[in-house]
A and B are shown apart, each in its own frame.
Chain A
Amino acid sequence: MAKFKAPLIQRGLLTRVPKLGDPVWWAPKSTIGIVSKVSQVTFEFSSGPQALTSGGKIVPYRYRTAARIEDALWNDDLQRWTIGTGPTPKNVRGQIVLPEPVLVNAQ
């Protein structure tokens, strides 16, 4: 199981907070993201593949997600933040191996 270091909240101070450009693993959707905005309490990250919107615009990331800073957990092994619960990548001798996609139908 991957080790992680949760941000410590001591007297209202966090020992580590997400910063612009930090990588993120969004576990519920099993996607890699990048921090795009940081506020006092929340931060945003962009993730997912390039997408074509219904308006015909191509955007570099399909998802733009906001979450609370205190819900982000720094994972030392993966060197990235993780948000939510779900499959997580593994660090195998320095290589980050993504989890296998879950099969909906086994046929």
Chain B
Amino acid sequence: MTAFVYGPGALGLIVGGVSPNPIDFLSNTIQLGLSNSTHVPNRDDVFIDDVGADDFVDGELSGTGYSRKTLANKTLTYDATNDLVEFDADDVTFTAINAGTMAQATVFQQTGGADNARRLICNIDSGGFPVASNGGDVTLRFSSGGLLQLTV
């Protein structure tokens, strides 16, 4: 499995996609959660609870030190040299986490409704995953190019 952008999520970021409202990366609350191998990401999934048995919510970690994190200081950048649109935010730290083995991180739009209305954006399983938590801190450091890049 490699990191990828969910197809419906990409459409939402650009024009609105399958839901009535577009995903506004800067203005919406965007969150990041961790899940174990029970979650089998599929780039065609739309919501973090997509009715299946292997959605993000089915494999989401549970335990000491874990909670979904809201991305802070988000930026959207066009890199003219590399023809990239970069989505970036502050690194995310889970303090004293002991909640099982994290297989990937999932970024999604946090709406006011339930998990079956929270739209998936991207799945990240590179850069050190899987990680077995043991009570220490775990920091997800996004690269200098951001957590998500679109090539234009």
Contact = CB atoms under 8 A, between A and B. Distances in A.
Interface of A: 26, 28-29, 41-42, 51-54, 59, 61-68, 71, 83-85
B81 interface: yes
B80 to A, nearest CB: 5
Contacts of B144: 28-29
B80 A59 contact: yes
Interface residues of B, number: 17
Contacts of B90: 84-85
A62 B72 CA distance: 24
A15 B78 CA distance: 29
B73 A54 contact: no
B75 A65 contact: yes
A62 B78 CA distance: 8
Contacts of A66: 26, 75-77
B80 A71 contact: no
Given A68-B74, A83-B75, 11 more contacts: A53-B80, A59-B80, A61-B80, A62-B81, A63-B77, A63-B78, A66-B75, A66-B76, A67-B26, A67-B75, A84-B73
Given A54-B83, A85-B90, A42 B77 contact: no
B2 interface: no
A29 to B, nearest CB: 6
Contacts of A54: 83
Contact of B77 (A53, A59, A64, A71): A64
Contact of B80 (A29, A42, A51, A83): A51
A65 B129 CA distance: 30
A43 B72 CA distance: 16
